[in-house]
A = this chain, B = another copy of it.
Amino acid sequence: MFQSHVVVKQKFLTFPGLRHAGPCGASKDSTIKLEADQTIYSEGEHALAIYQVEAGAVRIYRLTASGHRHILSFCSKGEWFGLEKGHVRTDFAEAVCETRIRPFPADPDAVISIDLLNIALTNLAKAQDRQLVMTEQSALKRVAAFVQEMAERRPEEPEFDMMMSRSDIADYLGLTIETVARSFTKLRDRHIIRLNGKLQRSVRLLDRGALRALTI
Interface residues of A (CB under 8 A from B): 1-4, 7, 62, 64-66, 70, 72, 83-85, 90-91, 115-118, 120-125, 127-128, 130-132, 134-135, 137, 173-174, 216
Contacts and interface: CB of A to CB of B under 8 A. Distances in A.
Contacts of A124: 85, 120, 123-124, 127
Contacts of A130: 131
Given A7-B118, A127-B131, 7 more contacts: A1-B118, A2-B115, A85-B118, A90-B125, A91-B128, A127-B127, A135-B173
A2 B135 contact: no
A137 B117 CA distance: 33
Contact of A118 (B2, B127, B132, B137): B2
Nearest to A175: B135
A9 to B, nearest CB: 13
Contact of A134 (B62, B66, B91, B174): B174
Contacts of A4: 4, 115-118
A109 B137 CA distance: 46
A124 B117 CA distance: 11
B134 A7 contact: no
Given A85-B121, A115-B2, A118-B2, A70 B135 contact: yes
A7 B70 contact: no
A128 B66 contact: no
Most buried by B among A91, A135, A173: A135
A43 to B, nearest CB: 13
Nearest to A215: B65
Nearest to A6: B115
